[in-house]
Structure 1
Amino acid sequence: MAAPSPETAKQTHLHYLSQALDLARLSPPKPTNFRVGCLIVSYPASTSTEASQAHKSQGQGQVLSTGYTLELEGNTHAEQCALSKLAAQHGTDEAHLHGLDVLSANQNVTLYTTLEPCGLRLSGNKPCVERIIDTRKSGGGIGKVIFGAREPGTFVKDSKSLMRLYEVGVPWEFVPDLQDEILKVAKEGHNKPVSREAQGQKAGIDDISPEERRRQEQLPRNPKKRMMEVDVPP
């Protein structure tokens, strides 16, 4: 059996991007976030290469996890939620996803997301592109990233996430057919007045999940900064 044609493969990608778009619609509209949906899908290798290709071309991959913006506690992104939920399903944390059999190389795992994964977070939270890369520490992990729209420059100008994926050898593909609807959904809520609290979040204040806060608290601190924080007696 021949490998699927580019058009057939594209239909498979649109199948999962459409599901990701439905997930994005579950995210609450806010002026400080993009509403994004994500699926992590595996296409387990078959004993027959032809059979494996046919399996993939028919959109019959196995959905391992899903996520959408703000699904979990904190100012969480869609990819972050999907990866955290996948880790929880297997009784581990996100830092140890790379050791799971479900993400081994022969599972051919693809991450579908409506919007290009973020390459920078103003809060100091780990960007989604780095979370994706971290799954590959043991040779498997996320094998490809497919997205339906580039990240607008609303919060971060000129995202470098795709260059970062290229640098570490993670293939990516932009499938633009649903782009207009994806951006419409992503930006819903951006025309609402921004409260003082939301302005703080937009500037990176309180934009940290409990998990990320614990990670940052464990980082070594600047001794000079520590000296500046010491109470000075009157």
Structure 2
Amino acid sequence: MAPGPPTPGVLGEYRVVERDDGSEQVEAHMEFIELAIQQASLAQPIASAFSVGSILVSGRQIIATGYSRELPGNTHAAQCAIEKAQATPLGHLVCGSTLYTTMEPCSFRLSKNIPCSSHIIEAGISIVVIGVKEPLTFSECQGVARLREAGVNIIHMKLLEEECLQPNIHLLKP
């Protein structure tokens, strides 16, 4: 059974996974992050934003996928996955679900759109598994901190950082 929604006022945990220990849990996290990387590769690369992929999961069931700029309105990956899931018969599974995302969810948007961290908190997602913290290319992201302050548990799959950055190599070369 999936954990319930985050508890506001209770600091969410932050766990870093630096190696594949062979456990079923780490293997599942790796599988879903790899699927999120596939989603990120669907995003058209642009010079002004990252290409990110997200997978929304309840238990081991994928309830939605998303990638940067997939939906109209300069959307981000997590936002796309959440909106797509909520528009389906599986929408009731979003609260308490796990979001896998190749990059740390944004904490603010220059476009004035709602940041992904706010979408995640509002949706009641209880765990966010990230592939990499957002590089300082555009801003100093505080997504992980905002989510933890809202009681969301974070798992950082540090062992997959290079793969998660690959869709953005055009932005990261010196």
TM-score bracket for this pair, using the shorter chain length: 0.7 to 0.9
The reply to whether residue 188 of structure 1 matches residue 160 of structure 2 is no
CA-CA distance at 1:188 after TM superposition? 3.2
Q: CA RMSD in A?
A: 2.0
Over 3 Å off, 4+ runs: 187-191
Is the counterpart of residue 152 in structure 1 residue 135 in structure 2?
yes
**8 A contact 1:28–1:35 mirrored in 2:** yes
C-alpha separation in 1, matches of 2:25 and 2:42: 27
8 Å contact 1:34–1:187 — kept in the other structure?
no
Return the TM-score normalized by structure 2.
0.81
Computing the radius of gyration from Cα coordinates, the structure with the larger value is 1
Q: Quick one: percent identity of the two aligned structures?
A: 37
Count how many residue pairs are aligned between Structure 1 and Structure 2: 153
Q: Which has the higher contact order (CA 8 A, sep 6+)?
A: 2
Check whether the contact 2:82–2:123 (CA below 8 A) recurs between aligned residues. no
Determine the C-alpha separation between the residues in 2 that align with 1:112 and 1:19.
Answer: 9
Secondary structure of the residue aligned to 1:14 is helix
Find the counterpart in structure 2 of residue 178 from structure 1.
160
1:102 maps to: 93
- The amino acid of 1:42's aligned partner reads S
- Tell me if structure 2 keeps the 8 A contact 1:118–1:161: yes
Q: Does residue 141 of structure 2 align to residue 163 of structure 1?
A: no
Aligned equivalent of 2:71: 72
SS in 1 for 2:148: helix
TM-superposition CA deviations, 1:13-62 (whole Å, max 9, x none):
0000000001111110110111111000001xxxxxxxxxxxxxxxxx00
| 2:13 is aligned with 1:30 | no
Alignment correspondent of 2:8: none
Other-structure match for 2:33: 17
Higher share in strand: 2
1:190 Cα deviation from its structure 2 partner: 6.8
Contact in 2 for aligned 1:21/1:36 (Cα 8 Å): yes
Q: What is the 5 A alignment of 1:1-234? A: 7-43=23-59, 61-90=60-89, 101-105=92-96, 109-136=97-124, 142-157=125-140, 159-188=141-170
Q: Could you tell me how far apart the structure 1 residues matched to 2:72 and 2:127 are?
A: 27
How far residue 8 of structure 1 moved from its aligned partner, in angstroms, is 2.5
Letter in 2 for 1:27: A
Determine the C-alpha separation between the residues in 1 that align with 2:75 and 2:95.
26
Q: Which has the higher helix share?
A: 1
What is the SS of the residue equivalent to 1:114? strand
- Cα distance in structure 1, aligned partners of 2:157 and 2:32: 11
> Taking structure 1 as the reference length, what is the TM-score of the superposition?
0.61
Q: SS at the partner of 1:21? A: helix
Alpha-carbon separation, structure 1, partners of 2:172 and 2:160: 20
Cα distance change on mapping 1:24 and 1:104 into 2, 3 Å: closer
Q: Does the 8 Å contact 2:43/2:52 carry over to 1?
A: yes
Give the letter for the 2:46 counterpart: K
Give the match's secondary structure for 1:89. Answer: coil
